[in-house]
Amino acid sequence: MSRKPLAMSRIRQVLGLYQNNRTIREIARITGISRNSVRKYIREYGDGADITGIDDTALGSIVHPAETGSFNSERHVALVEHFGKEKSHLVKRRGNKQVIWEEYRQAHPDGYSYSQYCLLWRQYLKGMDISLPQHYGPAEVAEIDFAGSKLGYVDAETGEVVDCDIFLGVMVFSGLVFCRAVHTQQFPDVAACIGRMLAAFGGVPTGYIICDNMATLVKKAGREEPVLTDACEQMAEHYGTCFSPARPYEPTDKPYIERSVSIAYDRIYTPLRHRTFHSLAELNTAITAQVEKLNARPFRKSPLSRMQLFAEHERPLLRPLPATLFTPRLLRMGTVEKNNHVYIIHETSKVMYHYSVPWQYIGQRVRIYYDRDTVEVYLDDVTRQRIAVHRREGTAIYTTLEEHVPPSHRAIVARRGWTNDYFYRIADAIGPCTRLVIERIIARYPNRTQAYRTCIALVKLNQKDGFSGRLEAACRRLEYVEKPSLNMVKNILAKGLDRAPADLFSEQCDKPVQPPHGNIRGKDAYR
């Protein structure tokens, strides 16, 4: 390994003593520099040369020719070209430096020695690896990432060790740290961590949040134009902020979180290394205690702490949090149907539920976002305009808003005076089973005009020749059908099923009794 070059002041002292006719042994004793080094500096500069009027740069280029290396020399130019070709292997340690140097010496027999090769390589990196200072104002930017190492707990029931990923966030200006353990790096866990982080900070950064290119947030990584996932865009919209992915393989884009991870290893991981936890909650409680100590700890060169800086300069500037934490929503792509409705399929029952959209958007592609409480419909274009929102409640197969119905349909309904209560009164006059069928038909059909036409046709069956007075009995046969239709009632009346024996059904309209039949075996056949 090459020696560290001497300061120019000491070299000037050596050369000055030599010009004053001091021997090499005396110079070595006075300066504390070895005799061989003294000889080297005298030889390099020139025996008897005067140092008066020469500056440090010129003196250094003479006594340290290998270290300072003139960029005009052919040997140095060849070395720089060699470094440019082998940089990827030397920086990322894909190749052994000794082996690469041996190949260099084979191509350039008059090249530098290995010690000078290593020294010039370090100098080359200093000239290439120049970072741009990043200055952010108070409450402007936060950075998030997962630590590379994990913490864990022992399951109290199985004794199994459960490894947990460690999520970290930092407010750039003050350095305030947030840390939490989660089971996975899937989006629900990441979204929960971000929500808890913002809640712990007490607000949302006024600028943006810098993140790594984790698959849960970034659909397509890129140096110029990365693409975020739909779920990440939903979360950004919910909190009123935006996410800015760092460039791939560029940790300098998020230096504060990289440093915070290193600090977490020292101030969170190390104090917990001998402790055993039996649940995720217990682990997070211990992590939170260590984070509070870290944030309250004064900086090494300042009496202030991270928490003091944050409370004084950042907390008053943060944007307010929304009333609720972000809940991930499901997405379905669809097209507005001719009846100006879109549908989603229930997660467990697999029943299709329809929701109205303004009739002007019939035939257009839309994005349907839904969760337990709401259904939102957005245009699938560059505008991403929200065109409909519904509360997801009740058991209605069709949910239709009055303003979404075409004007012509609304005019027909208004002119005829049709309303839900109007048909309920007619059905009550016929019987309770008819009322039930009418209610289910109105809930089933996409708009009131279509539902009311079916209801009119249904109640008219009660006065039709041959069917008079039989509608209530026919509807009784459909009490257990969730989606009754007009054709079902007509078929029952046409086949005379409404006149079946009364004992086929219980008085309370419970489960139908199996009718007697010669090919049906009784319970005795299974003894």
What Rg value do the Cα atoms of the chain yield, rounded?
A: 40
- What is the rounded distance in angstroms from the CA atom of residue 206 to the CA atom of residue 199? 15
pLDDT at 131 over 60: no
DSSP 8-state class, residue 477? T
Residue range 351-359: mean pLDDT, rounded: 88
For residue 427, give the nearest of 400, 456, 451, 399 by alpha carbon: 456
| Cβ within 8 Å of residue 115, ≥6 positions away | 1, 2
Structure token digits, residue 492: 């029952």
| Cβ within 8 Å of residue 493, ≥6 positions away | 461, 466, 467, 470, 471, 474
Provide the pLDDT for residue 178. 96
Indicate the residue type of 438: I
For residue 404, give the nearest of 379, 391, 387 by alpha carbon: 387
* Interstrand relation of 365-370 and 398-399 (parallel, antiparallel or unpaired): unpaired
Residue range 218-239: mean pLDDT, rounded: 85
Structure token digits, residue 32: 């504390």
Provide the pLDDT for residue 143. 94
Phi then psi dihedrals of residue 316, to 5 deg: -65, -20
Task: Choose between 281 and 41: higher pLDDT.
Answer: 281
Half-sphere exposure of residue 430: CA atoms within 13 angstroms, side-chain side:
27
For residue 302, give the nearest of 462, 174, 433, 200 by alpha carbon: 174
pLDDT at 510 over 60: no
Rounded to the nearest integer, the mean pLDDT of the chain is 82
Q: To the nearest whole percent, how much of the chain has pLDDT over 90?
A: 28
pLDDT band for position 509 (cuts 50, 70, 90):
very low
- What is the rounded distance in angstroms from the CA atom of residue 421 to the CA atom of residue 213? 57
Provide the pLDDT for residue 518. 61
- What is the rounded distance in angstroms from the CA atom of residue 516 to the CA atom of residue 411? 52
Structure token digits, residue 250: 């560029």
C-alpha dist (Å) from residue 415 to 408, 419, 421, 446: 11, 11, 16, 20
Q: What angle do CA 246, 291, 165 make, to 5 degrees?
A: 55
**pLDDT tens-digit series, residues 392-420:** 876 677 788 878 888 876 666 665 667 78
Residue range 107-126: mean pLDDT, rounded: 82
Which CATH number is 141-317's, of 3.30.420.10, 3.10.580.10, 3.30.43.10, 1.10.290.10?
A: 3.30.420.10
DSSP character string of 79-98: HHHHHHHHHHHHHTT-S-HH
Provide the pLDDT for residue 1. 43
Q: To the nearest whole percent, how much of the chain has pLDDT over 70?
A: 82
Indicate the residue type of 61: S
Q: How many separate helices (H) and strands (E) can be counted in the chain?
A: 19, 15
Provide the pLDDT for residue 98. 84
Provide the pLDDT for residue 69. 46
Indicate the residue type of 326: F
